[in-house]
Amino acid sequence: MKTVSTAKSHGGVQGVYTHASEVCACDMTFAVFVPPQAAERPCPVVWYLSGLTCTHQNVMDKGEYRRMAAELGLIVVCPDTSPRGDDIPDEKDNWQFGKGAGFYLDATQAPYARNYRMYSYVTEDLPALIAGNFPADMSRQAIFGHSMGGHGALTIALKSPGRYKSCSAFAPIVQPMTAGWSKPALEKFLGRDALAWRSYDATALIEDGHRFPEFLVDQGSADGFLEDGLRPWLLEEACAKAGIALTLRMQEGYDHSYFFISTFMDDHLKWHSERLG
C-alpha cells in the first residue's frame, strides 16, 4: 500500500492510498477517513460505494461526511468504482459501462472477467487491506452508497449475512436487470443468461430468499433517473412481501447530485452509528 496524500480534518486524518489489487489485476485507489477516536481504540468501519462515472474523489470532495464521522468515531472507506489503467478493457464513448461503471459485480465474460471484479474487491481484497493497515474494528461494519453504489451496497449486504450491521442507500438502482442504463452492462459483464444477473439485483435477491434486517433509502423526487433507472417502489414491494423493514424517504425537490447526498449524509451516518453500537 502506498500513501498518495494525507490531510488533517476535524481532528482525524483523510488519506488517499493505492495498492496492487490481485482481485482486479491492476493498481487501485481508495480513500479512508480515520477519526480522532482511533488514536485510543479501534473504530467501526462504514463503506461508501460511489455511483456511475465517479471515483473515491467525488464523495471525498463533495460528500461532507468527515465532521459527523469524526463526531461519531467512524472510519469511512471510499473505494473506486471500477478497475483503472491503460490496459483495462473499456468503451470510452459509453459512460454507462466500463471504467467508472463496474456495477460492483464479478464479470464472467471476456475481455472483462480478468479485471472487473469489484464485488470481490469490496468484500475480500480491500477489507483485508483495511484490517491490516488501519485501526479498524472489523466486527462492526456498515455499508451504503449512491446510485450504482447504492445498488452495490444493497446486493452486497443481502449476500453477506452477519457481516454488516446496517445498510442504506441514496437513490439506488434497485432492479438493474430491467433498467435501461444497467441491463446492457449486465449482459456484457455476465453474458446473456438473465439467471446469472439475479445475484446482482436487489429485488431478485430478495425474491430468491436473501434477507437483511432493515434498509434506509433516500430518494429525491426531482431525480431525472427516478422513473426509468432507479424505481425505488420496486424495492418497496419486494421488501414488503419479504417482511424486510424499509424506510423509504422521498425527498421533495432533490435531484441525483451531491447536493442531495451531502444534505442527508449526516442522517445516514447517525443511522449507521446507532446500529454499529
Catalytic residues: 147, 223, 256
Dist CA 2 CA 272 (whole Å): 29
Secondary element (H or E) of residue 254: none
d(CA 156, CA 153): 5
Which residues 6+ apart lie within 8 Å of 8 measured at CB? Answer: 14
Count Cα neighbours of 61 within 13 Å in the Cβ-side half-sphere.
6
Q: How many CB atoms lie within 10 A of CB 20?
A: 11
Q: What is the C-alpha end-to-end distance of the chain, expressed in Å?
A: 30
Q: Are 165 and 275 in contact (CB under 8 A)?
A: yes
Q: Reduce the DSSP state of residue 12 to 3 states and report it.
A: strand
Adjacent-strand bridge partners of 247: 216
Nearest CA to 262 among 35, 77, 66, 73? 66
Phi, psi of 8 (to 5 degrees): -75, 135
Phi then psi dihedrals of residue 229, to 5 deg: -115, -35
